[in-house]
């Protein structure tokens, strides 16, 4: 059974490079990103882990904890961390789950047997403070992820969790947003004091709410 948006993110206990973790306890009331890598000592994964380590302060600024997973054991992760530092200049500054028995990989459906029956694909789960899954992404092993895009999506998720808005194509922090279709014009005038422009009756645009 695949994990779908709105499902509770399954809890698990696992060994990581930062010691044993119980997922829900570790996450607490923060947001979290759980993401998988196919394999240690592989080229794309090495670049991804360095990229994410460099962006960790940006995730922290958004109250998002980051945790990775690879099907190799934790002692291999520790050895691989040396290579990641050599190549990218970044210290592995978030926990990386060792999952040689594929317990977490199977729980989250991270192995797609028709792509590869041994390695995980590049899965991403963004989990909200309520432990519900807010976003899933699946990339093949051959394509590295764009972690700036992940931050952009998290900005949208956090904004739309707080206000009755949606974000348009290619939206970035600070740009105009869309008034949620379920909000009436009268209600929109009350909720968005800076007003809105109706490009169509169903497409009303307002400055990004703040505060
Ligand atoms: C990589 O990270 O480069 C990779 C891992 C598994 C299969 C193909 C590429």
The pair phi, psi for residue 142, each rounded to 5°, is: -80, -5
For the Cβ of 43 lying below 6 angstroms from any atom of ligand 1, the answer is: yes
For residues 38 and 95, give the distance between their C-alpha atoms in angstroms, rounded to a whole number. 16
For ligand 1, the distance from its centroid to the CA atom of residue 122, given in whole angstroms, is 10
For the Cβ of 71 lying below 6 angstroms from any atom of ligand 1, the answer is: no
- Torsion angle, alpha carbons of 211, 31, 53, 169, to 10: -60
The two three-digit tokens of residue 188, written as one number: 């929109």
| Residues with a known catalytic role | 45
For residues 92 and 188, give the distance between their C-alpha atoms in angstroms, rounded to a whole number. 45
Render pLDDT for 44-58 as a digit per residue (tens, 0 to 9): 999 999 999 999 999
Q: What is the full per-residue pLDDT of the chain (211 aa) written as tens digits?
A: 699 999 999 999 999 999 999 999 999 999 999 999 999 999 999 999 999 999 999 999 999 999 999 999 999 999 999 999 999 999 999 999 999 999 999 999 999 999 998 999 999 999 999 999 999 999 999 999 999 999 999 999 999 999 999 999 999 999 999 999 999 999 999 999 999 999 999 999 999 999 7
Residue 211, pLDDT score: 76
For residues 185 and 196, give the distance between their C-alpha atoms in angstroms, rounded to a whole number. 9
Residues 6+ apart with CB under 8 A from 73: 15, 98, 100
Residue 1, pLDDT score: 65
Closest ligand 1 atom, CA of 45? 2
């Amino acid at each position: 059974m695949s994990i779908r948006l709105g499902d509770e993110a399954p809890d698990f206990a696992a060994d990581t490079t930062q010691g044993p973790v119980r997922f829900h306890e570790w996450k607490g009331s923060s947001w979290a990103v759980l993401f998988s890598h196919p394999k240690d000592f592989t080229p794309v994964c090495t670049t991804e882990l360095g990229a994410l380590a460099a962006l960790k302060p940006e995730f922290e600024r958004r109250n998002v904890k980051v945790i990775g997973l690879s099907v190799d054991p934790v002692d291999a992760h520790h050895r691989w961390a040396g290579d990641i530092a050599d190549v990218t200049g970044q210290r592995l500054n978030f926990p990386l789950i060792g999952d040689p028995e594929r317990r977490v990989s199977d729980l989250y459906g991270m192995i797609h047997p028709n792509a590869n029956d041994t390695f995980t694909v590049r899965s991403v789960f963004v989990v909200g403070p309520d432990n519900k899954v807010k976003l899933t992404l699946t990339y093949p092993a051959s394509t590295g992820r764009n972690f700036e895009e992940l931050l952009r999506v998290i900005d949208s998720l956090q904004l739309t969790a707080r206000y009755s808005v949606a974000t348009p194509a290619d939206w970035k922090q600070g740009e105009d947003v869309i008034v949620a279709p379920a909000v009436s014009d009268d209600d929109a005038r009350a909720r968005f004091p800076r007003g809105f422009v109706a490009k169509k009756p169903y497409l009303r645009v307002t400055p990004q709410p703040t505060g």
